[in-house]
Structure 1
Amino acid sequence: MTIKVVRGNPTPEELAAALAVVRFRAAAAQAAPSGVPGPRDAWSDPARLAVRRVPPPGEASWARTYWPG
């Protein structure tokens, strides 16, 4: 594995920290089972779109829009 610094002038400590993160991620990706998908983050989870924030239309839908605090 070759890492090239394209911009900036990192200190040896910064470069060592970046290399440690890259090595850790590579080892984790290699150790993960190939047939099992990884964990999903909340942003990409399609279930978050299923939450209804607006009541469905109907005769009394206006009455369901007020939530007393």
Structure 2
Amino acid sequence: MIKVVRGNPTPEELAAALAVVRARAATAAAEPSGAEGPRDAWSDPSRIAAAHLPPPGPASWGRTYWPS
């Protein structure tokens, strides 16, 4: 059930909102249970492992996660 708490939406606005909610529900239902969502590229550990690490030295810790 969807309840409008504030405002006075038109029937077209309600239909658009309901279409979005139904599309998201259909997408969630189509995915197998236990499946991970899409990975964010920033949090992907392989992004760091693929880059060349800086040579050891006093300031190397500061350059570890920065692209060269």
> Same fold judged by TM-score > 0.5?
yes
- Structure with higher Rg: it is 1
Change in 2 beyond 3 A, CA 1:20/1:58: same
Equivalent residues, number: 58
Q: 1:10-59 deviations in whole A, cap 9, x for unaligned?
A: 1111100000000000111011011220103356x254xx5xxxx78847
The structure with the greater share of residues assigned to helix is 2
Q: Give the match for residue 10 of structure 1.
A: 9
Q: Give the match for residue 30 of structure 1.
A: 29
Greater relative CO (CA pairs within 8 A, separation 6+): 2
Stretches of 4+ moved more than 3 A in 1?
55-61
State the TM-score, normalizing by the size of structure 1.
0.59
State the TM-score, normalizing by the size of structure 2.
0.59
Instruction: Identify unmatched segments of 5+ residues in structure 1.
Output: 62-69
SS in structure 1 at match of 2:18 = helix
CA RMSD of aligned residues (A): 3.3
Change in 2 beyond 3 A, CA 1:11/1:31: same
